Amino acid sequence: MIEVHELTKRYGAKTAVDSLTFTVKPGIVTGFLGPNGAGKSTTMRMILGLDRPTSGTATINGRPYAEHTAPLKQAGALLDAKAVHTGRSAYHHLLAMAATTGVPRSRVDEVIDLVGLHEVARKRAGAFSLGMGQRLGIASALLADPEVLILDEPVNGLDPEGILWIRHLMQNFAAQGRTVFVSSHLMSEMALTAEHLVVVGKGRLIADVSVAAFIEQAARDTVLVRSPRAVELHDLITGPGVTVLSVERGAFEVSGLSAAEVGDRASAAGIALHELTVQRPSLEEAFMELTKDAVEYQTVGAAA
Ligand SMILES: Nc1ncnc2c1ncn2[C@@H]1O[C@H](COP(=O)(O)OP(=O)(O)OP(=O)(O)O)[C@@H](O)[C@H]1O
């Protein structure tokens, strides 16, 4: 379990993390979502004791990470996959880590097999592809068999097979009753991986919600209506709870009414319909809508 309470980090005048409070529960994968610069990495670094908070607290299994007697048994993390000694082989990188943290040698072979690096374990890590580097980073995170796994953008730059592999690894880890906290700026990826979402923008909490609830909210349909008598039909259906989102010549988009309701009303008034299409926003669109005011560097015109 990870508990973050009123966590704040300022760099001079810049507030990178602004009074964040949330809990990451065991047994499920929790996605940490937000646009670039939202403060995800800074929050993860503070949870792991790598950055000192300006104020507030972050604990892992009830204590600040650094105060645990065997911190690596509590939480393993992948923050930057390139942070390995490039001259060492994957095997020796892990062996050195194991030796300094009291992990038995046999566990090194175990995690190498677990992440599928058996064939290349004796090769220099500096020559690894991005995907192999990510696997090695995850092997390091898993080395001490931790209760909590913290991964910062683990699928960045991976091919579809690598993405699938990490997704299953996280889900299996959570299914064992452990805690998984994974950051991403891709809603579509998190919808497939996570069960719960913590969404941040400009350092602030925007949503703390189950993926199912987010999808349900996002999936609010709109109906595109095209008719030669669009103006009349438009006037006929407007009322409480009905929002007309866009109007163009001969067509409009409406929310708050089902396609059947629009069709019935048109039929009752003897108005012909030339199109009646249910439109469902993609999850990515719903996420962008949610975070649109919290995007740090917005392209001019992007808000429209
Ligand atoms: N050491 C630092 N000094 C000054 N500003 C920093 C420092 N580290 C982060 N920031 C700023 O804090 C904000 C949050 O950065 P952070 O890297 O935590 O965001 P993020 O959500 O992880 O973004 P990304 O997906 O781009 O990595 C950014 O505006 C960043 O420029």
- Give the residue numbers spanning the domain of 225: 220-279
Q: Kindly report the backbone phi and psi dihedral angles of residue 134, in degrees, each rounded to the nearest multiple of 5, phi listed first.
A: -65, -40
Question: Do residues 36 and 108 both lie within one domain?
Answer: yes
Question: Do residues 32 and 105 both lie within one domain?
Answer: yes
Q: What is the complex's ipTM, to 2 decimals?
A: 0.95
pLDDT of residue 85: 63
The residue to which tokens 């003897």 are assigned? 270
Question: Do residues 69 and 148 both lie within one domain?
Answer: yes
> Cα(37) to centroid of ligand 1, in Å?
5
Question: Do residues 101 and 250 both lie within one domain?
Answer: no
Number of domains in the chain: 2
- Which of 197, 132, 195, 213 shows the shortest CA–CA distance to 166? 132
Helix (H, G, I), strand (E, B), or coil: what is residue 138? helix
Question: Do residues 33 and 159 both lie within one domain?
Answer: yes
- Could you tell me the two tokens for 241? 């709870």
Question: Do residues 167 and 198 both lie within one domain?
Answer: yes
pLDDT of residue 301: 42
- Residue from 8, 41, 151 whose mutation best tests the ligand 1 pocket (most atoms within 8 A of CB): 41
pLDDT of residue 49: 95
Evaluate whether 23 touches 3 at the Cβ level (below 8 Å).
yes
pLDDT of residue 296: 56
The strands making up 14-24's β-sheet, listed across from edge to edge, are 14-24, 2-11, 55-60
pLDDT of residue 81: 60
pLDDT digits (tens, 9 = 90+) for 190-243: 989 999 999 999 999 988 999 888 877 766 778 999 999 999 999 999 888 898
- Which of 104, 173, 103, 106 shows the shortest CA–CA distance to 138? 173
Which sign does the torsion angle of CA 169, 173, 174, 179 carry?
Answer: negative
Neighbouring-strand partners of residue 176: none
- Residue from 4, 14, 51, 190 whose mutation best tests the ligand 1 pocket (most atoms within 8 A of CB): 14
pLDDT of residue 303: 38
Question: Do residues 34 and 144 both lie within one domain?
Answer: yes
Please report whether residue 172 resides in a domain: yes
pLDDT of residue 61: 95
The ranges of the chain with pLDDT < 70 are 81-86, 218-219, 294-304
- Last residue of one domain, picked from the residues 166, 195, 217: 217
pLDDT of residue 20: 97
